[in-house]
Amino acid sequence: MTTTVPRFEELAAPSHWRTVDFISDLHLQASEPVTVAAWKHYLQTTHADALFILGDLFEVWVGDDALLEPGSFEAQGCAALKTAAQRLPVYFMHGNRDFLAGPAFLAHCDVTGLSDPTVLVFGDQRFVLSHGDLLCLDDVDYQRFRVQARSTEWQTQFLSQPLATRRAQARGIRQESEARKQSGVTYADVDGPAAIAWLQAAQAQTLIHGHTHRPAHHTLAPGLARVVMSDWDAAALPPRAETLRLSRAGLERIPLVPMYERS
């Protein structure tokens, strides 16, 4: 499957930003309280000047009206985001699990939406930011679904269903996804030539993305790199929870050690 080079939005970091944090693929859900607690602790303690969430913050997002349910997991998660956004700018990019997070979500949480992809200009460097799913070209079935699910018609039809119905469908999708993971199926990785084409078109040096759950640093070509962020599972042994931190010195992976006892 081939891809065309998309249009790049551009964001210039203010000169006073010294450190920028990137996180992705937390897949927050009520059934994973240790990861939720680690995320909330991180929001309260990070000293970054800005936070970029590059997709799949939530395991699933069935519509912004979920925020209106008193005590809902979505409402609690957005309350934590809103508190963090009061002390540092927070940017949010859709992933393949939370692509239905809409304008009400952004406004409720006081976060700024990001197009996928976006070019971040930081000092004299240019970084392409993406969730990463759009570059997994070998996953043909998913790419077809992605086009369908991003359409106004599909989203209108899905969101017109009662919230309880959407939640039930989401549970079914999660069960299917978990069964697929347990089967040992190999997921498609980012296409190298496509990543190079993106970087060259954006006149950038580094692509930062998540989605694949394969944290690594790949040299794509002389002067061009692909940096993959980690997913989060704070209850795993060993736990997975880290931020990718950008400063004038470059990129650094910061393991996050929760300051609370794990039960």
Supply the DSSP string of 161-207, one letter for each residue. Answer: S-HHHHHHHHHHHHHHHHHHHHTTPPPPPPPHHHHHHHHHHHT-SEE
Per-residue model confidence (pLDDT) at position 173: 79
Per-residue model confidence (pLDDT) at position 181: 67
The full set of domains in the chain, from first to last, is: 9-255 (3.60.21.10)
Q: How confident is the model at residue 263 (pLDDT cuts 50, 70, 90)?
A: very low
Q: Which tens digits make up the pLDDT trace of 148-198? A: 999 999 999 999 999 999 999 988 877 877 777 676 667 789 999 999 999
Mean pLDDT over 62-66 rounds to 97
Strands 9-12 vs 242-247: parallel, antiparallel or unpaired: unpaired
Q: How confident is the model at residue 258 (pLDDT cuts 50, 70, 90)?
A: low
Comparison of pLDDT for 259 and 105, the residue scoring more: 105
Does residue 261 have a pLDDT over 60? no
Percentage of the chain modeled with pLDDT above 90:
87
Distance of CA 69 to the CA centre of its chain: 24
Does residue 77 have a pLDDT over 70? yes
Per-residue model confidence (pLDDT) at position 175: 81
3-state secondary structure of 65: helix
**In 3D, which of 117, 112, 125, 105 has the Cα closest to residue 50?**
112
Q: What is the DSSP letter of 137?
A: T
Region label for 240, one of left (φ > 0), alpha (ψ between -120 and 50) or beta (otherwise):
beta
Cβ atoms of residues 76 and 230 within 8 Å: no
Cα(126)–Cα(21) distance, rounded to whole angstroms? 15
What pTM was computed for the model?
0.94
Per-residue model confidence (pLDDT) at position 251: 98
Per-residue model confidence (pLDDT) at position 90: 98
What value does the mean pLDDT of the chain take? 93
Per-residue model confidence (pLDDT) at position 37: 95
Mean pLDDT over 207-232 rounds to 97
Percentage of the chain modeled with pLDDT above 70:
94
Q: How confident is the model at residue 109 (pLDDT cuts 50, 70, 90)?
A: very high
Q: How confident is the model at residue 260 (pLDDT cuts 50, 70, 90)?
A: very low
Does residue 1 have a pLDDT over 90? no
Q: Which tens digits make up the pLDDT trace of 130-152? A: 999 999 999 999 999 999 999 99
| 83 to 26, 42, 89, 111, 247: CA distances (angstroms) | 18, 12, 11, 10, 24
